[in-house]
Amino acid sequence: MVAAVASLPDGDVVLATRDEPSRKVARSVRLVLGPERLGLLHVETPVTAWAVMLAGLVSGGLTASSARAVADVVLARITTRALVSSVASLESPTPTFRQHAGSLLPRTAFVVDPGRGTVGRFHERLGIPSGGDMLVVASSPKPVVADTTDLLPRPADVELVGAKPDWHATRWFEASTIDGPLSWAVASAASGAHRWTACEVCGRAAFGTCIFCDIALRPARAGLAPHARLPDQHQPEHQGVIS
């Protein structure tokens, strides 16, 4: 990984991770190569939602320092549902005792809504809204239910093969979609750049936390500091991803 990142052209690089092992790898890479151009973006979210978020991050015209703002806005507009064969080992959201017991029954399935933190019995509806700009799915080799044609409002745009599940069930199906066009969410995040704060260490303009320096930024009172590095829509950026 160090060699792969070092071989990238000059420019800022974002290492995006969603689990602790990958996060440790990303930190090791930055420790070896230095933090000058390596930003770390760690987001613990379902794998299909993460895929939608990554699609937003690689949109043209974005700077690496905008990754946190874009990720937050995109994830806030994503709906994720998981259909699982058992919730006996599910840690979050927490199922009820009755749902634990129900997992022992054959042909039982549950719908998990990580956004709302709820678990419910499956009654032919997964609850994925229609009209989303991007629909991503992932599933176990064996299906949860025999007929999956009616689980989604339309065919998926992307199917992740070999994705690592978060549901601790032998059979599972996960889907995520974004409310409205993905480009709108990205543009909404980037449009707030004039209100971002300059990092006191590296001078990059960012939202919330500087992913290069791991420093929480204080809210800007009246615009940006004179030395802030605003996102340049014409400046190329290179983004790397650890999955």
CATH architecture observed for domain 43-191: 2-Layer Sandwich (3.30)
Q: Which residue has the tokens 């065919």?
A: 155
160-194 residue pLDDT tens: 998 888 899 999 999 999 999 999 999 999 888 88
Query: Which positions ≥6 away from 180 have C-beta within 8 Å?
Result: 77, 131, 132, 133
Residue percentage of the chain with pLDDT more than 90:
49
pLDDT of residue 220: 59
Q: Is the pLDDT of residue 222 over 90?
A: no
90-110 residue pLDDT tens: 888 888 888 878 887 778 899
Structural contact between residues 47 and 164, judged by C-beta atoms closer than 8 angstroms: yes
pTM to 2 decimal places: 0.85
- Nearest to residue 237, comparing CAs of 214, 204, 192? 204
Task: State the pLDDT confidence band at 62, using cuts at 50, 70 and 90.
Answer: confident
**Is the N-terminal amide bond of 236 cis, ω within 30° of 0?**
no
Rounded distance between C-alpha atoms, residue 229 and residue 12, angstroms: 13
pLDDT of residue 221: 53
Q: Which residue has the tokens 């613990």?
A: 44
Task: State the pLDDT confidence band at 130, using cuts at 50, 70 and 90.
Answer: confident
Domains of the chain by residue range: 43-191, 196-225
Q: Is the pLDDT of residue 242 over 70?
A: no
